Structure 1
Amino acid sequence: MSKPFAAAVVGAGFIGPVHVEGLLRAGVHVTGIVGSSPEKSQAAAQSLGLPRGYASLDEVLADDRVDVVHLATPNRLHFEQASAVLRAGKHVLCEKPLAMDSRESAELVRLAADSQRAAGVAYNIRFYPLCQEAAAQVQAGDLGDVLHVNGSYVQDWLLHPTDFNWRVLAEAGGELRAVADIGTHWLDLTQFITGQKVTAVCADLQTVHAQRQRPTGPTDTFSGKGKRPVAAEPIAIDTEDAGCVLLKFANGARGSLQVSQTTAGRKNCLRFEIAGSRQTFAWNSEQPNAIWIGRRDQANESLIRDPALLGEAARQYATYPGGHNEGFPDTFKQLFRAFYGYLAAGDLTASPPFPTFSDGHREILLCEAILQSHRQQAWVEVAPDGC
């Protein structure tokens, strides 16, 4: 990078430290981190080897050394925080979903355009090298016409009624949970690969546990089996644990998506199968270093992630030689390289190589259509994004 940039991360839970690690591996200087209290900021800075634990976002915005602010905070805070970052004249990279509703996300798109600052959303799964390869092959016409797109994103970390996280509450995470939290990753990825937008949805959602036990003490996301028992209180749940969504794409293709955070044994598994008129791509995030290519009139193929075998577009996102596996943390490194490389190039009018606020806004519109469809038990068209 021709110009060094400095970043600060807001959020010290599960995903904030992931951002810190990815930034450092991408060669970006991290000035510090913000936790939910000054004490947690200091503790996080110390554990991550960062020079400063900021007391607040305001301290970050007042620090002239900070060029980019990464927001890894609860969903309900994204709109206010992203707005403040843009108004302070800094670039921003926000975790998904971008906002709590499309009114907020549309305003963030407008603010980003007016501020003339880079504004990205952390849909990191795009940056698995074989997902980039699939997108490049679709664009080159190798897949043929997209016919149908199917898949799932399933986890098990909320299987038990004693499992709890702020995301299960609508006032903290939004009215959609499993779809917004993980389903939007699948929707963003498949639209990115196919180049086709979802235009209509038909959804049926399921709340497995209408009541959960909320701990009265602190807990960690994905804390797992070894977590210590804590006192808890019952609380009603008004967000979905799972669901199925039928899809229509702009070119007439059809699709289906299953999401679940209550599927035993599936820790973090995104799968897609994209069928075209010439061949089919199938990929699984738990085995991310191979993609299956299906053909009608010749042998099927398993393409291994190897820079020597990938096209030019995908090769830049594969750091290690074939046989040296790359995974989840590497996607953040590659996302950040794309984001900061774009900043270093200096032309913010160029097409961004990363998911933008416009993409995040589009995902919010999709979520609203899915929720409306579930409530009406009918097909619903996705509102135009205006972007």
Structure 2
Amino acid sequence: MPLQPGENYECIEIEIMKEIAQISTNKLKLYECLRKTNTNPNYLRAVEDLILLNYSTKPSFNTIQYIPVSIYMEDLTVLSRDLQFEDTFPDTPQLRVIRFGLTQLAKHQWWSMAHQTLIFDVNFLGIDGFEVDHDDYEKLIENFDNAMKKYKPPNIFKRKFLLLPIFTRSESYLTLIVNPAGVVKPENAGRPGTCTMVNIGTKDLSPYKNIVLPRIHKVLELFMEREKPAQRYERFVPESIEEFEIVLPQMARAEKGFGMLYAMDQFLNEQKRIEDWRKIINEIGKDPDNMMRDMGNLRIRLAHAVYKHVETEGGRIQRHIAKKRLLIAEHRRKMIESGQETVDKESVSEIERVIEWLADTKTKLREEIKYVGIL
């Protein structure tokens, strides 16, 4: 609410208003009106563009590089889904949310398995981009050279498991490589067993196999060339790879990033061991209801991780706005329990009409233009 006669802004309110003023005048006005509320979810619209957490992981036993992540206030909308319409009409997560999820899953892998595993950052080397395979992979090679100078990763062929996650706004994929040493032939020796590649996707894998997998093969070849002098590797043997494909049950677009994290969690969580990968791939996604439940639980775990980091590492602003969201969500929970919250059916109907219109428009556009997509 606007200042009343004799009233002054609190110090924390002034700090927040300075931050919002750099982003949006309208949101500044909204914040000024709602700054005192602990119940109105529109408050969250005013602060949604504020950074809640700057988080970074260092390379460790099972990660190949630094993974810096900035989580914004709006990202809790995607993770928590505890306010009206957040669960009914969820937003699609940004790449930063998926990267944060990767860091949390990697951090909690059993240490004995972590020494055998190497997890790549999401879209490592820009492997999802349009241009990385142009001119005989010139851009991919440039990205690789820069990454090697910056991170100096270990010899990936001495690890038993590699995980490469790919995320776009429309689809997500995860490639598990078992025994990567099987794709290189040492001098004067046979290959050390078979290399197996398990490709998991949220849709038909044909585009992924045709476009992304050749790039992954190129990355493996570049790693081989890097290690060739010291390890006396003779050549790269991609034709020897044994491949498996898994398409997860159909899910909404907003869920697909979490579908990829769910798949990764099956290999990294504390109840399962990545060494049991054959059993895991035989079970993964077979029960759609359980899968969606596990994905929901994973989202909540990530939301709790954000709150925990904010509480221990965040500044005054971050702790204040995070607490506000918790209070607003708690108010809604109490309203639901008491039967006082009612859903605005007219608003729901209007949103459904908009979604139907967008779907119809998209269909018509696809009929009128040639639609080209990679993933």
- Which TM-score tier does this pair reach, normalised by the shorter chain? under 0.3
More strand per residue? 1
Considering only CA atoms, is the larger Rg found in Structure 1 or Structure 2?
A: 2
Q: Which has the higher contact order (CA 8 A, sep 6+)?
A: 1
